[in-house]
Amino acid sequence: MPLVVQSGVSVMLPCSVGTPIPLHELEVQWMRGDSGTLVHLFQDRESRPESQNPAYIGRAEFFTKEISKGNFSLLLRNVTTEDRGLYKCVVHTEHESNETHVEIDIERLVVTGADVPIFAYARDDVILNCSVDTHVPLKELQVEWLKTNGEILVLLFAEGLNRPESQNERFIGRAEFFSEEIPKGNFSMKLKNVKTEDNGEFQCKVHTDRESVNATAWLKELGK
């Protein structure tokens, strides 16, 4: 499975052997599996930062004290979208070479709404869909349902909790999340007792510390 991380954080790429290798026999290369770009090199008993590709200078480093114990893991700082992909840790000794692969994937926030309008009669109950695909913990998500015309707050989920006290009075008692579905990333809204003034566009706005993504739903009221 890839290591899924957020942009801007640090990540450890694991690489180790069961039996420590004498340092005078050892060479370790970390490189990009797709391009062969050299990320870092350990050679002649020491790290060789001068050999790194410029994109990794000051960002990729060994745990130096761990190398003699057979731990060749790499710390990669300030991960960017350019770091997404496959990495190879190649360990050379006097007699053999072995390698292991690690994949990095960057956290992406994907929010999906409805592809088609929802049609309803007055006083019907409807469901407006909003699905969130992310590895971000619930407590770090903020989800707002807004009535686009007027930016009216319909529903709010923040700091891991529903916030019904934040609703616009037009929607108190009529709009609600499916609370048991929220841990699965389902932030769909149930809107009860549809009214003519509910006609139009709603937005499901999802925020993390680093990005915001919207999905849209349309409601068409057909009359009484």
DSSP string, 10-59: -EEE--B-SS---GGG-EEEEEETTT--EEEEEETTEE-GGGS-GGGTTT
pLDDT of residue 155: 96
pLDDT of residue 223: 66
Domains and CATH numbers, the chain: 3-106 (2.60.40.10), 110-221 (2.60.40.10)
**Residue pLDDT tens, the chain, 224 long:** 788 887 788 999 999 998 888 998 899 999 999 889 999 999 999 999 999 999 999 999 999 999 999 999 999 999 988 999 999 999 999 888 999 999 998 877 889 988 888 999 889 999 999 999 877 788 889 999 999 987 899 999 999 999 999 999 999 999 999 999 999 999 999 999 999 899 999 999 999 877 789 999 999 877 66
pLDDT of residue 169: 94
pLDDT of residue 53: 95
Whether this prediction's pTM lies above 0.75 is answered by: no
pLDDT of residue 110: 85
Distance CA 111, CA 212 (A): 10
| CA neighbor of 14 nearest in space, from 59, 75, 86 | 75
pLDDT of residue 224: 60
